[in-house]
Chains A and B, each alone.
Chain A
C-alpha cells in the first residue's frame, strides 16, 4: 500500500480517536474524574449498534439516533449510582477513588460483555459497506469517510452546546472554577451529571461508528481507553476541536509508524508518544 493511502486510513480512524477522546476530556475537565472505563462505554455503544442491526435490522448510522439517547441515560445512571459519590470527596481522594472505581468498572464491564456476547469480534455488514471513492491513486472507503464526517459533526455540535446552551456555559464555568461557579448560583452537581451524561453519549456514538467502520469485541475497551487517553494528553484539556485534531494527529502518527516499522508496532507508537508528551508537556499541545 502506498504511503498516502496508509496516511489517509490513519486520518479516517483519527477522527474516531478524537470523538472517543472528547467524551473523556469533557468529563475529566469538568469533574476531574478520569474514567478509565471510558473505552468500555465505547464498546457498549458498539454492541448497542450491533444488536440493533442484527435483531431489528436498524441501519448503523440511523441507530445513532437510538444509541446516543441510550448512552445519555446510561451516563446519568452511572453518575447517580457511582461517580456522583466520588465527586463528594476532595480532589486528591476523588482522583484516586475514581481511578480505582473506573478500573474495577472496566474489568466488570469487560467480563460482562464476554459473558453475554462471547469474545468474538462482531461487525455490521451493510449493502454499502464496500463502497469506495477513487481519487487518483487513493481509494477512500466511504463508510469510514462518513464516520469521520459524523465525528466532526458531533464534536461541532458539542462545541455549540457548550457555548450557547445555558447549561453548557455552566459546565464550562464549573470546569474552570467550581467554587466560583457555586457562587454564581450554578448547581455544580447538576453540571457534573450533564457532563458525565454527555461524555457517555459521545462514547456511545464513537462505539457505533467504530463498529460500523471496523468491528467490535469486548477487548476493544482497554484499547480505546488508551487511545482516548493518548489524545487527551496530546491535545490537552479545554478545547473540543483541539481534541479532534489531536485524534487526527494520533491516527496519522500510527499510520506513519506502521508504514515505517511494520504493523505490530502501530499500537506502541501511540503509547510511546503518550508517555513522551506526558513527561515533556503534561498540559498537552493545545491545553491551557
Chain B
C-alpha cells in the first residue's frame, strides 16, 4: 500500500500535535482558550467520522447528525441518571452504531443521490421525533455543575480525537481500507474480484457512526444545557462535512472568529465559502481531502 506511508506520517504528525496540546492545561490558560481547542478537537473527530463513509464507502451521508444526536441523547440520559460518563458514552456509541447497522442494510441499497437524500430524511425524522418527545431543555443538576471541570472534558476530547485519527489511519492502511477504496472506485469491479461490498460498507458505517456517537457523547458531557433535538440538526452534518473541504481545524478557527465579529452572517459566509471550495476543487471530495491535508500538514502527497 503505497499510500500507507503518507497516511502514517500524517497521523503521526497529528498525534504529535495532540500530545503537545495535552500539555496546554498545565500552562493554566484561560477557559476560553481551552473551550476553543475543545471545539477544534470535537470538529476533528466529527469530520474524521464522516469521512470514513464518504472516503471509503464513497457515499455522501447527509444525515450524519442523527448519529451524533443519538450518542448525545443516550449519553446524557444515562449519565444524568448516575451512570459513569465513560460507560454512558460507550452506550451512546453503541446505540448510534446499532441504529446505523439496522438501517444500513436498507440504506446501502441506494446509491449516490438517493443515499444522500435518504440519510437526510432519516436525520430529519430523528430530529423531529426527539423534538416532539423531549421538547424541554436539558440542564445539568446543580451538583454536577458545581463539580464541572473543563480539563476533564478537554482531555476526553483530546483522547477521542487521537482515537479517531488512529482508527482512520489503521483503516486506511489495512486490507479493509483497500477493499473499501476499491468499492469507492468501482463497486461492480470490486465485487467481481471477490470484495464483499455490503459488509465492507457496513463496517465503514459502523466505525463512522460509533465515532460520531462518541463525539455526541462528548457533546452531552460538555454542554451544561441544550435542547435534546439540537445535536440532531443539519448544522452538525455540515460541521462534519468540513473536514475534507476546509479542514476541520481551519473551519473551527474561522467559525469562531466569524462568530465573534460577524455574528449574524457567519453561517452565510461559511455556506458561500464551502460552495466556492467544492466548486474550485475538480475531482471532488477525495482530491479535496488530499489537498487539504497537503496544505495543512505541509507534506507532499502523490495525488
Asked if A and B form a direct contact in the complex, defined as CB atoms under 8 angstroms apart, the reply is yes
CB pair B122 A275 closer than 8 Å: yes
Residues of A within 8 A of B120 (CB): 36, 226, 229
Min CB gap A87→B, angstroms: 12
B104-135 with Cβ < 8 A to chain A: 106-107, 109-110, 112-114, 116-118, 120-122, 124-125, 128-129, 132
Min CB gap B88→A, angstroms: 27
Residues of B within 8 A of A226 (CB): 120-121, 124
A22-41 with Cβ < 8 A to chain B: 28, 32, 34, 36
CB pair B278 A233 closer than 8 Å: no
B25 within 8 A of A: no
Among the 9-residue stretches A99-107, A130-138, A156-164, the one with 4 or more Cβ atoms under 8 Å from chain B is: A99-107
Partner of A233, one of B117, B122, B270, B275: B117
B282 within 8 A of A: yes
CB pair B110 A279 closer than 8 Å: yes
CB pair B117 A93 closer than 8 Å: no
Residues of B within 8 A of A279 (CB): 106-107, 109-110, 118
CB pair B118 A278 closer than 8 Å: yes
Min CB gap A65→B, angstroms: 30
CA distance A97 to B281 in the complex (A): 10
CB pair A93 B265 closer than 8 Å: no
**Residue with the greatest number of chain B CB neighbours at <10 A, chosen from A104, A275, A279:** A104
CA distance A85 to B113 in the complex (A): 18
B283 within 8 A of A: yes
Interface size class of B (residues with CB under 8 A): 35 or more
CB pair A222 B124 closer than 8 Å: yes
CB pair A271 B275 closer than 8 Å: no
CB pair B275 A99 closer than 8 Å: no
CB pair A111 B271 closer than 8 Å: yes
**Residue with the greatest number of chain B CB neighbours at <10 A, chosen from A28, A109, A268:** A268
Given A93-B284, A96-B60, the answer on whether A265 and B268 have CB atoms closer than 8 Å is: no
Residues of B within 8 A of A271 (CB): 121-122, 124-125, 128
CA distance A107 to B285 in the complex (A): 19
Given A267-B128, A275-B118, A282-B114, the answer on whether A111 and B265 have CB atoms closer than 8 Å is: yes
CB pair A109 B121 closer than 8 Å: no
CB pair B117 A34 closer than 8 Å: yes
B302 within 8 A of A: no
Partner of A97, one of B54, B106, B278: B278
Min CB gap A51→B, angstroms: 19
**Residue with the greatest number of chain A CB neighbours at <10 A, chosen from B266, B272, B275:** B275
A144 within 8 A of B: no
CB pair A111 B267 closer than 8 Å: yes
Closest residue of B by beta carbon distance from A270: B121
A180 within 8 A of B: no
Closest residue of A by beta carbon distance from B287: A93
A62 within 8 A of B: no
A260-276 with Cβ < 8 A to chain B: 264-265, 267-268, 271-272, 274-275
CB pair A107 B271 closer than 8 Å: yes
B27 within 8 A of A: no
CA distance A226 to B285 in the complex (A): 24
CB pair A101 B275 closer than 8 Å: yes
CA distance A264 to B133 in the complex (A): 9
Given A100-B274, A268-B129, the answer on whether A112 and B117 have CB atoms closer than 8 Å is: no
Min CB gap B112→A, angstroms: 4
CB pair B128 A82 closer than 8 Å: no
A153 within 8 A of B: no
CB pair A111 B268 closer than 8 Å: yes
Residues of A within 8 A of B270 (CB): 104, 107-108
Residues of A within 8 A of B267 (CB): 107-108, 110-111
Question: Contact string, A14-57, partner B, CB cutoff 8 A, digits 1/0?
Answer: 00000000000000100010101000000000000000000000
Given A101-B275, A107-B270, A115-B265, the answer on whether A274 and B121 have CB atoms closer than 8 Å is: yes
Min CB gap A84→B, angstroms: 10
CB pair A107 B238 closer than 8 Å: yes
Residues of B within 8 A of A233 (CB): 114, 117
CB pair B271 A264 closer than 8 Å: no
The 23 listed contacts between A and B (C-beta, < 8 Å) are A32-B113, A36-B62, A89-B282, A89-B284, A95-B112, A97-B278, A97-B284, A100-B278, A100-B285, A103-B62, A103-B237, A103-B238, A104-B271, A104-B272, A107-B271, A108-B271, A108-B275, A109-B271, A111-B264, A111-B267, A114-B264, A272-B125, A279-B118
Task: Pick the 5 closest A-B CB pairs, nearest first.
Answer: A108-B271, A104-B274, A111-B267, A111-B268, A279-B106
List A residues at the B interface (Cβ < 8 Å): 28, 32, 34, 36, 82, 85-86, 89, 91-93, 95-101, 103-112, 114-115, 222, 226, 229-230, 233, 264-265, 267-268, 271-272, 274-275, 278-279, 282
Other than the given A96-B112, A108-B271, 17 more pairs (CB < 8 A) read: A34-B113, A36-B116, A82-B275, A82-B279, A99-B116, A100-B241, A103-B237, A104-B278, A106-B271, A107-B234, A108-B270, A229-B117, A229-B120, A233-B117, A264-B132, A271-B128, A282-B109
